[in-house]
Amino acid sequence: MALLTDNVLTRAGGWCLYLAALGALAASLPSSFVVPGGAHFILVIGGIGMWRYSVGIIHFVRGMYFLHVAYPRLRSQARQLGDQAAPSHVYLMVTSFRIDAHTTAMVYDSIIREAMECGWPTTVVASVVELSDEMIMRSLWRKHAPPSHVQLKLVRIPGTGKRDGLAYGFRAISRDLPDDNAIVAVVDGDTVLNPGVVKATAPYFRLMPKMGALTTNEFCEVRGSYLMSEWHKLRFAQRHLNMCSMGLSRRVLTLTGRMSVFRASVVTRPEFISDVEYDSLRHWRLGEFRFLTGDDKSSWFSMMRLGYDTFYVPDASISTVEHPPDPSFIRSARQLMFRWYGNSLRQNSRATKLGPGRLGWFTWYVLWDQRISMWTSILGLTAAIVAAMKYSFVILVAYLLWIGLTRLVLTILLIATGHPVGPVYPVILYFNQIFGSLVKIYVFFRLDRQSWTRQKTSFSADAASFQQQLNRWSSRAMTFSAASVFLALVMIIV
Residue 44 to residue 38: CA distance in whole angstroms: 10
Q: Which amino acid is at 337?
A: M
Quickly state the pLDDT bin for 35 (edges 50, 70, 90): low
Phi and psi, residue 278, nearest 5°: -120, 25
**203 to 269, 319, 415: CA distances (angstroms):** 22, 22, 29
Q: Is the pLDDT of residue 1 over 60?
A: no
* CATH 3.90.550.10 matches 71-327: yes
pLDDT at residue 10, rounded to an integer: 75
* Of residues 34 and 189, more confidently modeled: 189
Extents of the domains making up the chain: 71-327
Task: Compute CA 41 distance to the chain's CA centroid, rounded to the nearest angstrom.
Answer: 35
* Contacts (Cβ under 8 Å, ≥6 apart) of 467: 287
- In 10 A of CB 340, how many CB atoms? 19
DSSP H helices, 29-130, are: 38-65, 71-80, 101-117
Contact 318, 191 (CB under 8 A): yes
* Contacts (Cβ under 8 Å, ≥6 apart) of 156: 128, 129, 134
Q: Is the pLDDT of residue 464 over 60?
A: no
Summarize pLDDT for 80-128 with one digit per residue, the tens. 998 899 999 999 999 988 788 999 999 999 999 999 999 999 999 999 8
Quickly state the pLDDT bin for 3 (edges 50, 70, 90): very low
Radius of gyration of the chain (CA): 24
Q: Report which of 135, 146, 109, 111 is spatially closest to residue 125, judged by C-alpha positions.
A: 111
Q: Percentage of the chain with pLDDT > 70?
A: 93
pLDDT at residue 387, rounded to an integer: 85
State the DSSP H helix or E strand holding residue 95, giving kind and residue range, or none if neither: strand 90-96
Summarize pLDDT for 378-389 with one digit per residue, the tens. 998 998 898 888
The long-range contacts involving 401-408, CB below 8 angstroms and separated by at least 24 positions, are 401/22, 401/25, 401/26, 401/29, 403/430, 404/18, 404/21, 404/22, 404/25, 405/22, 406/53, 408/18, 408/22
Q: Is the pLDDT of residue 165 over 70?
A: yes
Q: Which amino acid is at 395?
A: I
Phi and psi, residue 290, nearest 5°: -80, 155
Q: Is the pLDDT of residue 49 over 90?
A: no
pTM of the entire structure?
Answer: 0.90
| Beta strand pairing call for 122-128 and 150-156 | parallel
Q: Report which of 272, 309, 277 is spatially closest to residue 295, judged by C-alpha positions.
A: 277
Quickly state the pLDDT bin for 33 (edges 50, 70, 90): low
Q: Percentage of the chain with pLDDT > 90?
A: 62
- Classified as helix, coil or strand, 159 is coil
Summarize pLDDT for 248-285 with one digit per residue, the tens. 999 999 998 789 999 999 999 999 999 999 998 888 88
53-70: average pLDDT: 94
